[in-house]
Amino acid sequence: MGFAVTSLAGTLLHFLYDWTGGSALIAPFSGVNESTWEHMKLLFWPMFIFSLIQSFFFSDRENFWCVKLKGILLGLSLIPIIFYTYNGVIGTSPDWINIAIFFISAAVAYIYETRQFNNAPPQCKSPKFAITMLCVIAALFVVFTFATPEIDIFKDPLTGKYGI
């Protein structure tokens, strides 16, 4: 279910900023350009919001937030790792591969989470730390939407610009 929600929501978020005419209210949650960072944002927000909803149903799992943090970090990490690896080898970035990277990253993240919930013993020393880290990541996605560092991961490969 999480994979389906994240895939659908992430796909919609890819276009939402343009559909709203460049709304500053929508910008922190949707892709504002074609940079790798903005594609990571498309994965983060649906996974994070889905986690908040799930937390009401799985409040009895003491390792819930630690597993969710690790799953989200895994998905977020895979996007630039896969993108820059294949782009470095092939030297080009066809749209269908970029789209596939998003879905692969989401799938791997949710497979990891499912295995952790089903097979791993609950080991979460600090659920509050996990929640805090997720909130820090969320804040970074908001801040970097408007105050974008001039680092390649934030650079739109189509326009050469950073951020909005």
d(CA 144, CA 53): 25
* Domain assignments of the chain as residue spans, ordered by start: 2-154
Enter the tokens of residue 82: 């896969």
Q: What is the mean pLDDT of residues 42-59?
A: 92
d(CA 124, CA 136): 19
d(CA 138, CA 48): 8
List, in sequence order, the alpha helices (H) in 20-147.
36-57, 64-90, 95-119, 127-146
Average pLDDT taken over every residue of the chain: 90
89: left (phi over 0), alpha (psi -120 to 50) or beta: alpha
Which tens digits make up the pLDDT trace of 87-128? 878 777 777 788 889 999 999 999 999 998 888 676 777 888
Quick one: pLDDT band at residue 26, thresholds 50, 70, 90? Answer: very high
Least confident among 2-11, 28-37, 80-89, 108-117: 80-89
